[in-house]
């Protein structure tokens, strides 16, 4: 989408043609996301589950001594559903893999703990150095307008690295967001994980090889743990990542009811979304991160939730528009703990949050935040004291993580 | 003859799309990221078909080439979309694109087509013919009265350009329709240098297509977007049986 192209909204849902994934409209003005969603009511999902079983059966203990596949988990509701499906429906022995974001909600910590406890599967976690974590997040906040880049970079590279390391070729993901949101592919394409999608859509066009250009202080070794395996490594190992949403009728609302009842999954309501089950593991995903998304793109998580409900015929477009307008401008919660952890004065956030100022990020990071954080990052006793000072009340959520 | 594996990238509103039956367009992403990967995969050539061209080929192409230059693309490129005058066609070549893709619409203005061939040379031209098999005899998509046999009769027998033959009914599918391909190539038996497209999503089919005497290249579309290492893997698998570019 270029500057001079007209932005149009789908006649059925709330998405517009400036969606960052891209969006096409057909001659009737219906968007690609709504068109592909129609397949959910047309495809023979029983037959597709059979296809999935055939595919995964061929990986059962065939190429790995220990695990049949890798399942990336965050502790969100989809993690429960995916792990349930992989173990109890497909009969696989997965290795669960988690990239710790370093800041996690209490609910998220509980859910992940529950997941590790109730499912018969090994679990492997990676936690990046928190000082590096803060450094990267400040950089992506200032330059890309997101705090989520680091976590996504880690969450999408860690399973592929472990697949290569342990020679486990199959990775099983939940939904393909490009299909769910904008109908990037037909379900029958059975699209698989690609590094191009990761770079372009997950990481906003900047991968770990390029993030250094934003900050002269960056050392490539700082984030070597985010490195995505090379094409040669992936081909040699036969690594492939499949999406369950191509084989199962994907509906997160139904999945939530299921995992809540069966596995005691807990949601977490925030003031910018009307469902409590989406991304409760991150204390700021539906808060600050969502507000930044709104400022960059003009829509927010509540829009995603409403579009999903429109397509599943749980709400009509007019009601959805009304609800969206109620939520879009709400100030994000959970800001202070995160601002303190990040080393940016919360006073910089406050007055700016509702201003939609084009210089928002510049002002957010204004003043001496860099020197302050450099001071904070010094590994001495004072530093530790100062860290404890601000994270003491919510230590589990910001800092230690999990 | 050394055969080639090409990539077809279809642009709609400045985004790359997956196309199905020439009707449904689903968004893939920005040209930059796919070009970047195709370079790394060493695809032999890239055919860009711009379906959302404005009224100005110059404007469309200038922006595109500016980006392509910035991205340091060295793979041979062909460009088509909105080329309706000799000036347009010359501009494409002067801009540094190796070949110009001429649509059936421009071809039917046969004087114009002849002018373009004379000016640029046949070898700088790819004639794109989307073939439909609705109701019996194959015709050109969008021109049900233009039968493939009529088009065949118009193309000079020793014409030196390449013909990209896309079977519309196979567009976006996982299998080519060999019956339709056989019929179309049979009708055009006097010509060679075909680029086949539509439904090529498996190394066996690509290998079978490249084995045909009339065929010089297979162009892959949706398949390369949904399977990351499709080009690399296809080249590795068929290099022992078919002479292809390394």
Q: ipTM of the predicted structure?
A: 0.91
Tokens of A215: 């900050």
Q: The whole model's pTM is what?
A: 0.91
Asked if B40 reaches chain A (Cβ–Cβ under 8 Å), the answer is yes
Phi/psi at B240 (5° precision): -80, -25
Q: Given this model, what pLDDT does residue A383 score?
A: 45
Asked if B24 reaches chain A (Cβ–Cβ under 8 Å), the answer is yes
pLDDT > 90 fraction of chain B, expressed in percent and rounded: 65
Element (H, E) at B79: strand B77-80
Q: What is the DSSP letter of A208?
A: T
| Chain A residues lying within 8 Å of B228, measured CB to CB | 192-196, 231, 234
Asked if B154 reaches chain A (Cβ–Cβ under 8 Å), the answer is no
Tokens 């070597």 correspond to what residue?
A224
Q: What is each CA distance from A64 to A94, A96, B195, in whole angstroms? A: 11, 15, 42
Question: Is the per-residue pLDDT at B152 higher than 60?
Answer: yes
DSSP string spanning A128-192? Answer: --HHHHHHHHHHHHHHHS-S-HHHHHHHHHHHHHHHHHHT--EEEES--HHHHHH--S-GGG---
Chain A positions touching chain B (beta carbons under 8 Å): 1-2, 5, 17, 21-24, 26, 32, 35-36, 182-186, 189-197, 199-201, 205, 231, 234-235
Instruction: For the domain covering A45-246, report its CATH number.
Output: 3.40.50
CA atoms within 13 Å, Cβ hemisphere of B86: 12
Which position has the higher pLDDT, B240 or B131? Answer: B131
Taking an 8 Å cut-off on Cβ atoms, the answer to whether B228 and A1 are in contact is no
CA dist A211 and A133 (Å) reads 13
Taking an 8 Å cut-off on Cβ atoms, the answer to whether B33 and A194 are in contact is no
Tokens 């055009």 correspond to what residue?
B188
Q: Which CATH number does the domain B4-237 belong to among 3.10.20.30, 3.40.640.10, 3.20.20.70, 3.40.50.300?
A: 3.20.20.70
Nearest to B33 among A182, A191, A199 (CB): A199
Give B179-197 pLDDT, tens digit per residue: 999 999 999 999 999 999 9
Taking an 8 Å cut-off on Cβ atoms, the answer to whether A35 and B24 are in contact is yes
Phi/psi at A263 (5° precision): -120, 5
- Sequence spans of domains, chain B: 4-237
CA dist B109 and B89 (Å) reads 14
Q: Given this model, what pLDDT does residue A211 score?
A: 87
CA dist A13 and A32 (Å) reads 11
Tokens of A291: 């507000």
Burial per residue of B184-209, b for 16 or more beta-carbon CB atoms within 10 angstroms, e otherwise = bbebbeebbbbbbbbbbbbeebbbbb
Q: Given this model, what pLDDT does residue A378 score?
A: 47
Tokens of B180: 């339709």
Q: Given this model, what pLDDT does residue A268 score?
A: 86
First vs last C-alpha separation in chain A: 40
Taking an 8 Å cut-off on Cβ atoms, the answer to whether B33 and A200 are in contact is yes
| Chain A residues lying within 8 Å of B28, measured CB to CB | 22, 184
* Mean pLDDT, chain B, integer: 91
Q: Among A35, A30, A94, which residue's Cα sits nearest to residue A244?
A: A94
Tokens of A325: 């307008």
Q: Given this model, what pLDDT does residue A141 score?
A: 83
Nearest to A185 among B36, B41, B226 (CB): B226
Asked if B30 reaches chain A (Cβ–Cβ under 8 Å), the answer is yes
- Average pLDDT of each block of 10 consecutive residues along chain A (402 residues)? 70 96 95 98 98 95 78 95 98 96 87 94 94 86 86 97 96 98 97 96 93 78 91 95 98 96 92 88 86 88 97 98 94 78 70 52 56 45 44 48 56
At residue A207's C-alpha, the angle toward residues A193 and B30, to 5°, is 70
Q: Given this model, what pLDDT does residue A375 score?
A: 46
Minimal Cα–Cα distance from A141 to chain B, Å? 22
CA dist B17 and B28 (Å) reads 5
CA dist A343 and A326 (Å) reads 31
- Sequence spans of domains, chain A: 45-246, 283-397
Helices then strands, counting H and E runs in chain B, come out as 10, 12
Q: Given this model, what pLDDT does residue A242 score?
A: 98
pLDDT band at B241 (very low <50, low <70, confident <90, very high): confident
Minimal Cα–Cα distance from A193 to chain B, Å? 8
Instruction: Give which of A186, A202, A206, A236 to mutate to test B binding, by max B Cβ within 10 Å.
Output: A186
Give B75-115 pLDDT, tens digit per residue: 999 999 889 899 999 999 998 899 999 999 999 999 999 99
At residue A175's C-alpha, the angle toward residues A174 and A180, to 5°, is 170
B51 close to B68: Cβ distance less than 8 angstroms: no
At residue A338's C-alpha, the angle toward residues A336 and A341, to 5°, is 110
Tokens of A395: 């230590």
Query: Poorest-confidence range of A203-217, B45-59, B149-163?
Result: B45-59
Please enumerate in sequence order all residues whose Cβ is within 8 A of that of B119, keeping only pairs 6 or more positions apart, or say none. Answer: B86, B89, B90
């Amino acid at each position: 989408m270029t500057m001079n192209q007209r932005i149009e909204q789908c006649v059925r849902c709330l998405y517009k043609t400036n969606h960052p994934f891209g969006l096409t409209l057909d001659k009737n003005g219906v968007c690609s996301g709504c068109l592909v969603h129609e397949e959910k009511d047309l495809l023979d999902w029983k037959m597709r589950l059979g296809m999935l079983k055939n595919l995964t059966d061929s990986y059962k203990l065939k190429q790995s001594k220990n695990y049949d596949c890798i399942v990336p988990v965050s502790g969100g509701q989809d993690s429960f559903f995916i792990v349930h499906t992989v173990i109890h429906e497909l009969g696989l022995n997965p290795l669960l893999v988690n990239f710790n974001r370093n800041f996690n909600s209490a609910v998220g910590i509980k859910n992940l703990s529950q997941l590790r406890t109730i499912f018969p599967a090994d679990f492997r976690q990676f936690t990046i150095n928190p000082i590096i974590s803060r450094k990267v997040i400040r950089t992506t906040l200032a330059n890309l307008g997101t705090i989520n880049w680091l976590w996504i970079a880690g969450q999408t590279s860690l399973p592929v690295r472990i697949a290569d390391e342990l020679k486990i070729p199959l990775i099983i993901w939940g939904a393909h967001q490009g299909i769910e949101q904008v109908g990037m592919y037909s379900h029958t394409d059975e699209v698989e994980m690609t590094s191009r999608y990761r770079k372009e859509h997950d990481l906003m066009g900047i991968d770990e090889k390029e993030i250094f250009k934003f900050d002269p202080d960056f050392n490539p070794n700082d984030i070597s743990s985010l490195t995505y395996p090379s094409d040669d490594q992936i081909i040699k190992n036969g690594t492939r990542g499949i999406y369950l949403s191509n084989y199962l009728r994907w509906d997160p609302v139904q999945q939530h009811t299921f995992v809540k009842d069966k596995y005691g999954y807990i949601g977490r309501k925030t003031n910018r979304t009307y469902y409590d089950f989406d991304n409760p593991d991150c204390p700021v995903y539906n808060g600050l991160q969502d507000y930044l998304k709104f400022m960059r793109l003009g829509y927010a998580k509540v829009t995603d939730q409403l579009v999903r409900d429109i397509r599943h015929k749980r709400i009509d477009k007019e009601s959805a528009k009304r609800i969206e307008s109620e939520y879009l401008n709400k100030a994000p919660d959970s800001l202070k703990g995160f601002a303190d952890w990040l080393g940016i004065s919360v006073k910089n956030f406050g007055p700016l949050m509702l201003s939609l100022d084009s210089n928002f990020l510049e002002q957010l990071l204004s003043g001496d935040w860099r020197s302050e954080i450099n001071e904070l990052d010094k590994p001495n006793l004072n530093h530790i004291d100062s860290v404890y000072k601000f994270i003491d009340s919510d230590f589990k959520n910001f800092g230690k993580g999990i | 003859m050394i055969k080639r594996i090409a990539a077809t990238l279809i642009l709609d509103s400045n985004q790359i799309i997956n196309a199905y039956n020439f009707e449904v367009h689903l968004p893939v992403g920005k040209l930059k990221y796919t070009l970047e990967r195709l370079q790394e995969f060493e695809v032999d050539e890239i055919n860009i078909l711009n379906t959302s061209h404005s009224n100005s080929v110059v404007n469309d192409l200038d922006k595109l080439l500016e980006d392509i230059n910035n991205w340091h693309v060295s793979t041979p490129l062909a460009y088509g979309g909105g080329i309706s005058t000799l000036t347009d066609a010359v501009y494409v070549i002067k801009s540094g694109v190796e070949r110009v893709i001429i649509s059936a619409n421009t071809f039917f203005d046969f004087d114009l087509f002849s002018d373009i061939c004379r000016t640029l040379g046949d070898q700088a031209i790819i004639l794109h013919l989307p073939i439909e098999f609705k109701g019996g005899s194959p015709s050109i998509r969008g021109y049900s009265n233009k039968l493939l046999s009529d088009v065949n009769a118009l193309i000079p027998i020793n014409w030196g350009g390449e013909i990209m033959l896309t079977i519309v009914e196979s567009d976006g599918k996982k299998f080519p329709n060999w019956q339709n391909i056989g019929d179309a190539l049979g009708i055009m038996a006097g010509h060679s240098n075909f680029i086949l497209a539509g439904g090529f999503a498996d190394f066996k089919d690509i290998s079978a297509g490249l084995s045909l005497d009339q065929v010089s290249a297979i162009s892959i579309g949706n398949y390369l977007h949904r399977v990351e290492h499709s080009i690399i893997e296809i080249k590795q698998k068929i290099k022992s049986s078919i002479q292809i570019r390394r």
